[in-house]
Amino acid sequence: MPKKHEKNKFSITVCGEFFPEIYPTHRSSKWSRGEEDPLTTEMRLFCACMRWAFNRLLEGASRHEIKKSGQELFGLNSRYADDARLKAQALLDSQTELLKLENEETEEKLGRARKKLSLAMRKLAKAEEKGAASEVIEKLRLAVKGRNKRVVSLAKRLAELKDYREKGTIPEVVFGGRRLWEKVCQGRAAREKWRHARRNRLYSRGDESKGGNPNIKIFYDGQDFRLAVSLSHLSEQTGIDKLGRPRMSQAPRVEGKLWLPEKHRELVQIWLAMKLPYAVELIRTLEGRYLVHLTFEVVRVQEPDFAKGCLAIDTNPDGVALCNVSASGQPEPWPEGFSVPYPGNLGKYEGEFQVIPYPNGFLYIRIPDLAHTSSFRRSYLIGVLAKVVVDIAFFSGKPIVLENLNFGKDRLDTNKKFNRMASNFPFAKMVGAMYRRAVKEGVPFKLVSPRHTSTIGYWKYMKRYAVPVHCAAALVTGRRAMGFRERVTIELRQLVSQIKQNLTRKVNPDRPGEGKGMTRGVRACLRRLEERLPVHNGLAQSEQEAYNSVWPDLKLLALSVR
C-alpha cells in the first residue's frame, strides 16, 4: 500500500555522493576516538544522540529536556540535537503504527486459521464416521494437526501484541538492524559491521528562514555542486547569552564536491536559487563512501481536470494497461502522430519492453522481468515504466488515474500461489514512481477505489471493444475517477438469462451436481441476481460499488462458466 500524502504536498528525494576534500586542522580530545576523522565523529555522536533520545521519548521526556540535555551529553548544537529527536520520534511513531497494523492483520489471519481448522475437523469426523481408508484419515489428521499449530502460534502472537498495546509500549527496537544483530549472534557477521550500521548517519532538516539548511549547506560554484557539513562538536563556548544559554563559536566545516545525477542538476540549481528549504541525510557506507539524500518538499500538486478526459491505468505484475478515456467517459483513439516513447537505455534482450496496441485507444505495456527479477533490477524497470507512462500522459495533455490497491500482509495466508503473486507484485513501487515522475513533469494524478473494476470490465467492455480484461478494467477506472456510474445494460441482463438457460439444460435442476453445470452456489448466485439486477440502476454510485452489489455475484458467475 502506498503512503498517503497530504493534499497539495509531496516530497522528492535526489541521491548523490559526497567527496570530502577540506577538513579542520584540529581534532577534539574530548569527543574523538582513535584515528577517526571529525566527520565520522560527528556522525557517531548524532546516531548516539538519536538512540538516547528514543529511550527518553519512551520515558515521556519533553522536547526541551531532550534538546538541552542532548547538547551537553553529545556535544552537538541545538539543531542537530533537535534533528536527532525528530528522527527518534519518527521511528517511535512508525513502530506504534506498525504495532496497530500488525494487530489488525494478526486478528484477521487468526479468524481465517480457525475457520480452516474447523473445516478440517469436520472433514476428519465425516471420514471417520464413514470408515474411509486409513491413508485418507491419516492425511486429514495431519492437516488438523498443522492447522491447529498455526492457530496456537497466531493466538500467542496476538496476545503479545495486545499486551504491548495495553501497556502502551512497543516491541524492542534494535538499532543497526535486528537481522544483522541476529547474524552477529550466530557468528555469521562481524560485530564491527553491526556497530558501523548504528553510527553511519547524519541528518539535518531544512529551514526556510535560514535560506535552505543551516547545518549541511549545498551551493553551486558555476561548474560543480559543493557540500559543507558543520562539525558542531568542534565548536567552543565563548560565553552565556541573556537567557543563560551557552554562546558557542562558529563550528568548522568539512567541505567537498557533491556529485548529483545529470537529470536532477537543473532542479537542484533552481531550488538553491530560490533559497527554499531542503533536508539532507548523509550516509557513510562500510567502504568509506558518503552517500547523500536530498529531500525537497513540493507544496503545489495540480488538481486533475477531466475536461479532456484522462489516461486510465490498470497495474499488473508484468506491466500496465492504458486506456485513453475521453471527456464523455468512452475510449477514444490516440491523437495523430502518437507513438509510445520506447526507452533507449534497455536492450538486454529482445522482447524486454513490449508495447501491445489495441483499437480505440487501448494499450498494454508489458515488461516480463517485473514478475521475477531482482529488487534492484525491478526498481530500475519500474522507473523506466513510470517515465514512459507519464510521457504519454504529458503528450496527450490528460491527468493520470490509478487504482489504490491494497496488498497488505493481512491477505497473505496459506495460499502459496496468491502469496507469491502478492509478494512479488511491485504495485507500491509502481505508484510511487509514477507519483514522483508526475510531480516533476507537472502531470496531475488521482487514485480511485479498485473495487470490481475487473468484473465490470469483463462483463461490459471486454467483448464490446475486443480488448483484454486488464484494458477493460483501465476504462472502468477512468470512468470512476470522472464520476460516471456503471449501469446494468439490457444486453447484460439478456446474457445472464442466457447463461442460466444453458446451465439448466446441462443437468437436472432438481439434482444439481457440484462442479457440473448448475451447482448450488451458482443457483444461489443467480437467485440473488434476479433480485438485484432490476434495482441496480436506481442506486447511488457508492451503493453500486459496494461489496453487496451485483458485481460480486457476477464475478462468481464469470468464474463458474469460464
Domain harbouring 439, CATH code: 3.30.420.140
Mark residue 324 as left, alpha or beta (left: phi above 0; alpha: psi -120 to 50; beta: remaining): beta
Q: Which one is predicted more confidently, 473 or 417?
A: 473
* Domain contains 169: no
- pLDDT tens, position by position, 31-89: 988 888 999 999 999 999 999 999 999 999 999 999 989 988 999 998 999 999 999 99
Compute the mean pLDDT over every residue in the chain, rounded to the nearest whole number: 86
With vertex at residue 367, the alpha carbon angle to CA 365 and CA 372, rounded to the nearest 5 degrees, is 145
Position 4 scores a pLDDT of 43
Q: Are residues 395 and 426 in the same domain?
A: yes
In this prediction, residues 261-271 reach a mean pLDDT of 88
CB contact at 8 A, 199 and 137 = no
Helices 178-185, 191-198: inter-axial angle, 10-degree rounding: 160
* Domain contains 552: yes
Position 417 scores a pLDDT of 64
Residue 518 has pLDDT above 90, yes or no: no
Position 1 scores a pLDDT of 36
Q: Among residues 281, 189, 161, 170, which one has the least CA distance to residue 227?
A: 281
Q: Are residues 466 and 497 in the same domain?
A: no
* Domain contains 30: no
Residue 27 has pLDDT above 90, yes or no: no
* Domain contains 225: no
Q: Are residues 418 and 345 in the same domain?
A: yes
Q: Which one is predicted more confidently, 349 or 83?
A: 83
Q: Are residues 340 and 452 in the same domain?
A: yes
Residue 322 has pLDDT above 90, yes or no: yes
| Position 299 confidence tier, pLDDT thresholds 50, 70, 90 | low
Residue 147 has pLDDT above 90, yes or no: yes
Q: Are residues 354 and 423 in the same domain?
A: yes
Q: Are residues 360 and 479 in the same domain?
A: yes
How many domains are contained in the chain? 2
69 to 139, 236, 242, 452: CA distances (angstroms): 64, 17, 19, 56
| pLDDT > 70 fraction of the chain, expressed in percent and rounded | 90
Q: Look at 336-345, 380-389, 466-475 and tell me which has the smallest mean pLDDT.
A: 336-345
CB atoms within 10 A of CB 337: 6
Q: Which one is predicted more confidently, 209 or 185?
A: 185
Q: Are residues 423 and 520 in the same domain?
A: no
Q: Are residues 436 and 555 in the same domain?
A: no
* Domain contains 408: yes
SS3 call for 230? strand
* Domain contains 364: yes
In this prediction, residues 234-263 reach a mean pLDDT of 82
Q: Which one is predicted more confidently, 420 or 169?
A: 169
Q: Are residues 399 and 442 in the same domain?
A: yes
Residue 321 has pLDDT above 90, yes or no: yes
| Position 301 confidence tier, pLDDT thresholds 50, 70, 90 | low
**Whether pTM exceeds 0.75:** no
**Three cell numbers written together for 73:** 551529553
Round to whole Å and give the CA distance between 380 and 84.
Answer: 32
Q: Look at 227-236, 330-339, 506-515 and tell me which has the smallest mean pLDDT.
A: 506-515
* Domain contains 229: no
Structural domain including 548 reads 488-507+515-561
In this prediction, residues 164-186 reach a mean pLDDT of 91
Q: Among residues 160, 169, 197, which one has the least CA distance to residue 181?
A: 197
Q: What is the layout of strands, in order, in the sheet containing 225-230?
A: 201-204, 279-284, 290-298, 10-22, 253-259, 225-230, 216-220
